[in-house]
Structure 1
Amino acid sequence: MSMDELRRRLGQVSDLNAAAGLMSWDQETQMPPEAAHVRGLQMATLEGLAHELFTDARTAELLDAVGTPEDETDAAVVRVTRRDHAKDTRLPTAFVEETARARNEAHHAWLDAREHSRFSTFAPHLERMLDLARRQADLLGYEEHPYDALLDEYEPGMRASQVRPVFADLRTRTLPLVRRVAAAGDAADYGVLTRPFSPEAQKAFAWRVAGEAFGLKPEFARQDESAHPFQTNFSRSDVRVTTRVEPYWPACLFGTWHEAGHAMYERGVAPRWERTPVSAGASLGVHESQSRMFENLLARSRPFWRRYFPQLAEVAPEVTAGQDPETLYRAVNRVQPSLIRVEADEVTYNFHIMLRFELELALLEGTLKVHELPEAWNAKMAEDLGLTPPDDAQGVLQDIHWSAGLIGYFPTYTLGNLLSVQLLEAARRNEAVAAGIDRAEYGPLLAWLVENVHQPGRSLTPGEITERATGRALTADPYVAYLHEKYEDIYGRKAEG
């Protein structure tokens, strides 16, 4: 009976978190602006209730009473719950509620600051979020660096001391490629990327392909617009993705397909984990491997555009006029240092992540002050990518993460990039999967991902999933080889050096 009671309690916690998540989704997509303050209080109440229920004495008693269940599913639920409970009991409910209120206020301050490109109006809120992050790190505890406690929330077991050498190696092996490709000149007519393409047609085409190619169906998913694209879900049967529409139409298309990768991961988690702490992705790095795989390894591939070029021509003839699948493939794989992370190409994207990682470390350590952040951001952009943002909106204010208190989150993007190639390389060892990928028919691949990556949810660690699926620990080698092979092909011998 103890296991039944524990599962009921975990289901109630899950339901409260789902209700708070639904309010957050509504805030980003539907909510009228005047509701912001009250919405913050409502979300703080729900998150506080969920935290209290999960961390109170009865939960601990139930965990003690169930011991180690013989049933494999129950044993995984108990194991993950114990880990989360041990961490969450270190965070007082008052702190959780304070963080929720601060996050809501910071979010709306960020929206206004970005709209008017004024970092100074957001700076006090960022100061508060950093203070909360430092307090959270102290409450959770760490051995080496306060960043480790925050990073562990998104990538369990990972430490800053592990990320640093990975990033340094990646920089060493890919910066010369950035330089060579940038010097190689155009590989296609890039004007096609801003040709007239109506907002509704963009969204409709992106959504249609997300369903046909990647399995994202309206029976369990929906798409809306938001300032910053994201995916959220309230069960495996209720998945939401958002996108944004711009004259640069790849932002909408590839943004949708990126979020489709996240969505299909949550959809693929086994139903037996529903309404328990196991029912989620193993980590944000593993999550990002799915979104980057769908967005880049599949949707920016030659087979994909050979298959979907005719459909694009039907809905956007102005875009495809004078083009063919090969020229469009080359265009959407343009390498050009960009100010905006979410628009960055595969070769330069990780430099955006490394910049944010280094700045976060400096802010937490106190070697960089918040008011110095725009200048430090611009200097690092100039050093790595040869660009200087003309304003704060295109620089330090472009991402939502810091307003949401997501400090320690950014490294997972690059970890996901590395894992995406390693997983696809392993999946292609299956002949049916490889043949499907070559025809842009991704059903066999999705089935392989569900079996090897999605179904376990959080019952396996990121390292266990990686080794089980690929046969080895995470390494940058496949990713670096992929970048060189793909872009030396697109840009010709001038990119080979």
Structure 2
Amino acid sequence: MTSAPEPAQSSPQTTSDLAELKRLLNQVSDVNAAASLMSWDQETQMPPDAARVRGLQMATLAGLGHELFTAPRVSELLERAQPEQSGPDQSDPQQAETDAALLKVTRRDHAKATRLPTAFVEEQSQAASEAHHAWIEARKNDDFASFAPHLSRMVDLARRYAEYQGFKDHPYDALIDDYEPGMKAAQVKAIFADLRDRTLPLLRRIVAAGDATDYSVLRRPFAAQSQRQFGLKIAQEAFGLNPSFSRLDESAHPFQTNFSRDDIRVTTRFDEAYFPMSLFGTWHETGHAMYEHGVSARLERTPLSRGASLGVHESQSRMFENLLGRSRPFWQRHFEEFAQAAPEVARGQDAESLYRAVNRVRPDLIRVEADEVTYNFHIMLRFELELSLLEGTLAVAELPEAWNARMQEFLGVTPPDDAQGVLQDIHWSAGLIGYFPTYTLGNLLSVQLLDAAKQDAQITEQVDRAEYTLLREWLVQNVHQYGRSRLPAEIVQAATGRPLSADAYVKYLEEKYSDIYGLS
């Protein structure tokens, strides 16, 4: 009897250094996603008494993610790994380019992360969780003194972070680089000084011109549930926020977060006596969401799978909120839908009067409700205060007084209380010092990108009808798909043909608001 032949022995399968590195980076991404999910829950669903333990849980995950990313094995793999070579037998010729970008960005992130002790990362996470809840209570009770110790701690942590990372000219350079790679405090100062000189005269002319329409319409009653339905309908049908990959919730401060390109959470807030808060907040965060959804799937669960910078990110949210959502074509197209959702608001109005109302320019107290002309002055104020706090030339206890003085200097208004002044933003409670300048950088870029897209006559025709399918496709192709695989400056140059400039933004403001306010 003849025995059956033994099965052939396969040769051992070897895992490349790059493949093993990707597996480890996937794990880091998953841990960080779990931490982000806890953070989202903390903002939207979590019962108040859970705050203390939630802070500990989030600190554990932050520390675990940091340890995984800074493990010796990751260092070894980063030294040895090389991009996979693409050949005629490979189905994805872009893979080598993607791998090269992954290694470059990961090495940069890893160098930053390994400068931070795990204990510091855990301390920073727990302090931010505690400060967040202290901020909520302080703002609710108009009690800056109760928040001040937490803010002092966050400023101290920011200084320590800058020292760990190292800097040449100013500690702010080490902080803003996390949000806008390569940007320096000196550059921001120069950009802001130029922008202030070019837009302050326009603001003064607008204020002198008086009202452009009846603004009382903005304060007419509009039920929160109806606001939600209308805002979400526009986000989904006009802007592409498909419910298959997203959901909308309520939070104290609107934000967008995501755990993958197909698991995106948007939040908003409601004021039944001021509907723009919800509608434009929802569409702003929708812009962020569509950017994250547009990142290429090949970058998923890696350090490349998010926006190139917060300035580029903000260009998308401001485009959806302002350049589209506050445009005349938008309100001409959607006024009847709006009137059905809010008949009390729309009574006696038409598309033109509502368009003028939602574009009201008025120096006011609250950044997130600021118009396009005054918004950047809110950012300049925060930037200057952050510099002073880091330098030690301004004490935290002196912050409310300094805030109020600059509000009067920049916009001619003084907050009546700290809840409408220094306590209005979530950022400092989260330790996000260095973040604010990216809002203005995003404003500048939003117009520059839209102007570039509208070089295509079909896109212009659609946008003029408040249809955005081709524009969204252009943004995915020229901005979104790259994630962090390209630097912000590279994306801007390739998409628009020139570096970032304030020129297009200033021209846009001059043309739009000269028309609305009848300026010569």
TM range (shorter): over 0.9
Partner of 1:2: 17
| 2:33 is aligned with 1:18 | yes
Partner of 1:259: 285
Which stretch shifts more, 313-322 or 214-223?
313-322
Query: Does structure 1 retain, via aligned residues, the 8 Å contact 2:142–2:418?
Result: yes
Distance 2:198 2:102 in 1: 41
Distance 1:94 1:152 in 2: 22
Give secondary structure in 1 for the equivalent of 2:257: strand
| 2:470 is aligned with 1:444 | yes
Distance 1:355 1:342 in 2: 14
Cα deviations by residue, 1:78-100 (Å, 9 ceiling, x for unpaired): 11111100111001110000000
Distance 1:137 1:68 in 2: 32
Give secondary structure in 1 for the equivalent of 2:331: helix
1:366 pairs, out of 374, 377, 392, with: 392
Partner of 1:206: 231
Name stretches of at least 5 consecutive residues in structure 1 with no aligned partner.
none
Q: Which has the larger radius of gyration?
A: 2
Partner of 2:249: 224
One-letter amino acid of the counterpart of residue 224, structure 1:
D
Distance 2:257 2:111 in 1: 25
Partner of 1:180: 205
Cα deviations by residue, 1:143-173 (Å, 9 ceiling, x for unpaired): 1100000000000000001010100000001
Give secondary structure in 2 for the equivalent of 1:240: strand
Distance 1:225 1:67 in 2: 45
Normalised by the size of structure 1, how large is the TM-score? 0.99
Which stretch shifts more, 77-86 or 386-395?
77-86
Partner of 2:481: 455
Give secondary structure in 2 for the equivalent of 1:475: coil
2:183 pairs, out of 143, 147, 158, with: 158
| 2:260 is aligned with 1:235 | yes
Distance 1:408 1:69 in 2: 36
Partner of 2:360: 334
Distance 2:510 2:378 in 1: 19
Cα deviations by residue, 1:217-250 (Å, 9 ceiling, x for unpaired): 1100000000000000000000000000012100
Name stretches of at least 5 consecutive residues in structure 2 with no aligned partner.
1-15, 86-95
Give secondary structure in 2 for the equivalent of 1:227: coil
Distance 2:214 2:84 in 1: 61
Partner of 2:433: 407
The number of equivalent residue pairs is 494
One-letter amino acid of the counterpart of residue 443, structure 1:
T
Partner of 1:354: 380
| 2:317 is aligned with 1:291 | yes
Distance 2:82 2:232 in 1: 46
1:65 pairs, out of 65, 76, 80, with: 80
Give secondary structure in 1 for the equivalent of 2:178: helix
1:316 pairs, out of 342, 348, 359, with: 342
Q: CA deviation at 1:483?
A: 0.4
Tell me the percent identity.
70
Partner of 2:92: none
Partner of 2:3: none
1:56 pairs, out of 71, 95, 113, with: 71
Q: CA deviation at 1:308?
A: 0.6
Cα deviations by residue, 1:257-302 (Å, 9 ceiling, x for unpaired): 0000000000000000000000000000000000000000000000
Give secondary structure in 2 for the equivalent of 1:214: coil
One-letter amino acid of the counterpart of residue 374, structure 2:
T
RMSD (Å), alpha carbons: 0.7
One-letter amino acid of the counterpart of residue 276, structure 1:
T
One-letter amino acid of the counterpart of residue 50, structure 2:
A
Partner of 1:135: 160
Cα deviations by residue, 1:183-226 (Å, 9 ceiling, x for unpaired): 11110110111111100000110000001110001100000000
Q: CA deviation at 1:67?
A: 3.2
One-letter amino acid of the counterpart of residue 46, structure 1:
L
Distance 1:318 1:168 in 2: 43
Q: CA deviation at 1:68?
A: 4.6
Query: Does structure 1 retain, via aligned residues, the 8 Å contact 2:18–2:82?
Result: no
Normalised by the size of structure 2, how large is the TM-score? 0.94
One-letter amino acid of the counterpart of residue 249, structure 1:
F
Distance 1:342 1:244 in 2: 11
Q: CA deviation at 1:431?
A: 1.3
Give secondary structure in 2 for the equivalent of 1:31: coil
1:424 pairs, out of 450, 453, 459, with: 450
Distance 2:207 2:253 in 1: 28
Structure 1 moving runs of 4+ over 3 Å: 67-70
Distance 1:142 1:478 in 2: 32
One-letter amino acid of the counterpart of residue 329, structure 2:
P
